[in-house]
């Protein structure tokens, strides 16, 4: 089964529209079409980002539903400890946490809407893809 890292911007987008690609990715995860890998730092960022005022203002989910989603993610994902200290994304070092999680969790993909990560394209055979690309990958896998 594919092991995947989701950038917090994917999670935020999934709470803003229940019809877009990020929401479809979350739905696919709930259907156990891939395993989600998280770290403490990724979960901390997700909790922070999903409660940003600008995200809350346009989210279709209530605060309780966002809390429930985050708890579901925490409890239904593979939580890995991180010990690596990589410096990969020079323009935004805060994105390094996704690279570190992917390397230590032996992920197949990082799914992100972040240009700094997408520009990298891959790192140590871990592909960095957009939500649309990831859905196409999942679809192709289902056809096998």
pTM: 0.91
Cα distance from N-terminal residue to C-terminal residue, the chain? 13
Give the residue among 113, 4, 1 at the shortest CA–CA distance from 49: 113
Walk me through the domains of the chain, giving residue ranges and CATH numbers: 3-143 (3.40.50.1010)
SS3 content of the chain, % helix, strand, coil (to 5): 55, 15, 30
Per-residue pLDDT of the chain (144 residues; tens, 9 = 90+): 999 999 999 999 999 999 999 999 999 999 999 999 999 999 999 999 999 999 999 999 999 999 999 999 999 999 998 876 767 677 765 678 898 899 999 999 999 998 888 888 889 999 999 999 999 999 998 887
Per-residue pLDDT tens for 68-81?
999 999 999 999 98
Q: In this predicted structure, what is the pLDDT of residue 18? A: 92
């Amino acid at each position: 089964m594919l092991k995947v890292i989701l950038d917090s911007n994917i999670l935020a987008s999934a709470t803003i529209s229940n019809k877009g690609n990020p929401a479809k990715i979350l739905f696919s995860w709930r259907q156990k079409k891939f395993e989600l890998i998280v770290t403490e730092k990724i979960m901390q960022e997700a909790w922070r980002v999903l409660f940003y005022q600008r995200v809350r203002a346009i989210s279709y989910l209530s605060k309780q539903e966002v809390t429930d989603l985050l708890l579901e993610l925490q409890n239904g994902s593979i939580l890995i400890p991180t010990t690596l200290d990589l410096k990969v994304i020079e323009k935004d070092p805060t994105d390094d946490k996704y690279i570190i999680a992917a390397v230590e969790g032996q992920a197949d993909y990082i799914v992100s809407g972040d240009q700094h990560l997408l520009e990298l394209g891959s790192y140590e055979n871990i592909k960095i893809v957009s939500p649309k690309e990831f859905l196409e990958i999942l679809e192709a896998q289902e056809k096998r």
